[in-house]
Amino acid sequence: MADRDLPEPDRFPGAPHPRERTELFGHDEAEKSFLDAIAAGRLHHAWLIGGPEGIGKATLAYRVARFLLAHGLRPAASLDVDANHPVSRRVAAQSHPDLAVIRRGLRADGKAYSAEIRVDDVRRALDLFGATAGEGGYRVCIVDAADDLNASSANALLKLVEEPPPRSIFLIVSHAPQRLLPTVRSRCRRLLLRPLDEKDLGLVVRSLGPPWAEAEPAALKEAVALGSGSVRRTLEMLDSDLRSVVAETRATLSALPRLDMSRVLALAESLAQRGAEERFRLVLDTAFAWVSARVHQSAALGPARLAPLAEVCEKAARAAREVEVFNLDKRPLVIALFGDLADAVRRAG
């Protein structure tokens, strides 16, 4: 099966890919950081663009890439590059010789994408940087997302970030920058993007074209409210079935430390079914967001009492990666997640 026959691993089904998007909503401050660095002639060679999934990090990375490939370090008031500019067209078509993209590649059987970025994925993409400077003299590498790197591929990337070729820039997208190798983090300028507000979320969805732009106003309003500042989550929430998954997960979490095991078992069973990968990820994301909000709201309790909640998330995230990589049964993870959270809430008081 050819790569083009599969949905891309970093594209939301049915929506434009970030490389095709020339508009950016809600991240003016982040864009200004790049513009100021360009104007000063001191553009750092590696940027770690962090923040929750689906808020526009990759869209910003491609926006920066287009500008540098089209204009180099020419000072400007905006990173805008017209969609009809030759650079924009080549980036959208994945044919620009000076842009390398590191992302999950196909499995050996060619039937699906790997669950992680392998070292060969990194080496293939970075062959570009072993050649002489290309058409515009500037070369850009986008990593989307660094969270998918395994130990070997992370070290392969680190070698180039440590000793970058001249006139090159690495734009490293991460949903959880704190989990990356400290040696990678220390060599990057860090840029944290915040979740979008509801107004910007609505504007983004309406700008995506059909069917998203044609969503009923009431459904869009509800989806935006459940979107947690993420475009990806908002698009998911336009599906009524997925909205019910979030509602069920939130109801179970809100009852903690009291644990309704029949409810947890029913949820775990539904997530173990074939084709439930999206719902499984949604349950984890909802649980992690709930923990984050609870930690912030209860900050006065102190780190010692709140640490168990964070530890549950770390444990669940590791287990989820193993479930995905080794195609394990999801039920034990889901049951353990809610049980561990109930215990952590009880201990936090």
Check pLDDT > 50 for residue 2.
no
Q: What is the CATH number of domain 3-192?
A: 3.40.50.300
Look at residue 242 in the predicted model and tell me its pLDDT.
Answer: 94
- What lies within 8 Å, CB to CB, of 244 at 6+ separation is none
pLDDT digits (tens, 9 = 90+) for 301-320: 888 888 999 899 999 989 99
Distance CA 295, CA 277 (A): 27
pLDDT class of 133 with cuts at 50, 70, 90: low
Work out the mean pLDDT of the chain and round it to a whole number.
92
Task: Examine the pLDDT at 136 and tell me if it is beyond 80.
Answer: no
Q: What pLDDT, in 10s, does the model give residues 35-44? A: 999 999 999 9
Burial 267-281 (b: 16+ CB within 10 A, else e): bbebbeeeebeebbe
Selected residue with higher pLDDT from 46 and 176: 46
Say yes or no to pLDDT of 203 above 90.
Answer: yes
Calculate mean pLDDT across residues 13-22. Answer: 95
Query: Mean per-residue pLDDT for 98-112?
Result: 90
Instruction: Report yes or no: 342 and 309 within 8 Å, Cβ to Cβ.
Output: no
| Residues in the chain, overall count | 349
Range name among 12-21, 104-113, 143-152, 251-260 with the lowest pLDDT average: 104-113
pLDDT at 1: 36
More confident residue, 202 or 327: 202
Lowest mean pLDDT among 110-119, 127-136, 167-176, 244-253: 127-136
**What average pLDDT does this structure show over 203-214?**
94
Judge whether residue 259 has pLDDT over 50. yes
pLDDT > 50? residue 201: yes
Least confident of 25-34, 90-99, 260-269, 300-309: 300-309
- Tokens 């180039």, residue? 160
- What are the boundaries of each domain within the chain? 3-192, 239-348
- Regarding predicted confidence, which is higher, 104 or 166? 104
Sign for the CA dihedral angle at 7, 12, 18, 20 comes to positive
- Band (pLDDT 50/70/90 cuts) for residue 198 is very high
Percent of the chain with pLDDT over 90: 74
pLDDT value of position 132: 54
Q: How confident is the model over 257-261, as a mean pLDDT?
A: 95
